[in-house]
Chains A and B, each alone.
Chain A
Amino acid sequence: MAASYTLGLRRVFGLFAPLRSHQISLAQVSRQHRCKYCHSAPVESQAWKLMSGVCVERYPVISQQLNSIEKDFKDVCDAIELETSVLSEHEVQVIKDRERLKMRQSGELDEDIADDESDVITALDVEDLATEMFNQFQAAPRETEADEKNDTKSLNRKLDDKLILLVKEKLGDDLVWMLPQGYRESGESMKEVAERVLKLCSEEDSIKVKILGNAPVGVYKYKYPKAVQKELGVQGAKVFFFKAKLLQGEFKMRSDSNIKDFRWLTREELDSHLLKGYSDCVKKFIFPVSW
């Protein structure tokens, strides 16, 4: 029984290739109906339920903070660029103004002759004016209120990182964090299922997303408990994941949906919410922002 359990698990993780040769030798011993890959007691059905999952990503809004080597390299690049550059129009004007001032102070330049130029705004004045205008401008902060409160429901947090939508759903008896998912109904393509899943868990027009591509980016298989397997006549479920890009809007949970809670989390934060195997599977198709 213990052996069958491990083999079953192997199947879940898709490592069936090494088992095939083993299967033939055993099949010769017994001609009973057996599972194709594992040699446990006869299984009634090999069917799997099909599901689609959606990985909604909010892409970074602001650039990442440079790390130490990036910063050093940028400083050197800037220095080299400055060294190889020529003086700009403004800098030339500043030098000219300074020379004119010097000449006037020493009396070389007659005030009356240069009258038409004397009340011209100097380049430095222009600079001061621009600096003042710049100082008046207040850029939005890189760290937002949601970051301070650690409000994981807000899309306004961790602006320099990707955010992924996780929902809490009832699976069996426990509540489990996962990507939004749902069963396929006959006649639907897997992508259509993914679209429907999102529609069912979010309030109408609350978010606008675009599902990228027709092909699933990953798959996760899990087996039902034995009792459920017998009852439904299926082994478990295969969840096919699709990636989606958040275009606009805030996610609002639909009150009549299966989900109990939701969160926008970064890739690093997924580990603390998801089951180990699930998290490993999901992280394969979520690219980190920096590595």
Chain B
Amino acid sequence: MRPDPALARDQDLDSPRRDQDLAVPNGGAMAEHKAEMAREPKVRVEGLSVFYGGVQALKSVDLPVHANEILGITGPSGSGKTTLLRMVNRLNDRVRACRHEGRVYLDGREIYDPQEDVILLRRRVGMVFALPTPLPKSIFENVVYAPRIAGMRDRRKLEERAERALRGAILWDEVKDRLDDSALALSGGQQQRLCIARTLAQEPEVVMLDEPCSGLDPISTLKIEQALDSLKATYTIVLVSHNVQQAARATDRTAFLLMGELVEWRPTAEMFTNPRDPRTADFLEGRFG
């Protein structure tokens, strides 16, 4: 069993080697941390505005993400969903024209603080992209990519890590006999689950998925949703989807973005049965988007 990643949090902040810290279970502090987590969301976005050149992609968004929930972010294309994710792991840092106002906190610490280590942040906040992005390497090498660059050398540890990650992404049974085959030989759905496994293998605390099912058939989509459901015990999950049905099926809470504005965010069941804002109702009922 893998300990709750949030437990290792305090040690993480001081330690450059997270994977070692995570191996130490600490059951005693569980209750205390649970209580604390109820107060402080895992990720908190505060007054976040983002501009690409002169275009404003996000308009003062406030959004908490709680530990061990699946938060769905939905909205029509171009509403800023992807931008929001890319701000949380600072992937927009190198986009030249991108500029932001407001704050993003991970466990109460401002991630854009100049003192924060962006590499460490990205190891804690994993991201799966819309299109599967396997690297032109073997399945095994794809999965252990993150631990390897973090300096893990021990073959047995790497194999353990790979198996755990592949099981987490519900891909293990399909690939266990051909780990050395090229990842590019997998089907689209398998490649996407491989990308999820690759993100899990870095043992992040937050997993963000950007339209992970946009190019997939219904069966692959179902498998990914199953995987997510079993993963939320361990991780905090943010699922971006413009597919309303998916947001309804797979998430605990849903946030609705429209043209860079966060219209509302509420428990998914409530949002779908009784949306407060007329724009939400219009979108959910398919009147636009």
Real complex partners, A and B?
A: no
By a beta-carbon cutoff of 8 Å, the part of chain A in contact with chain B is none
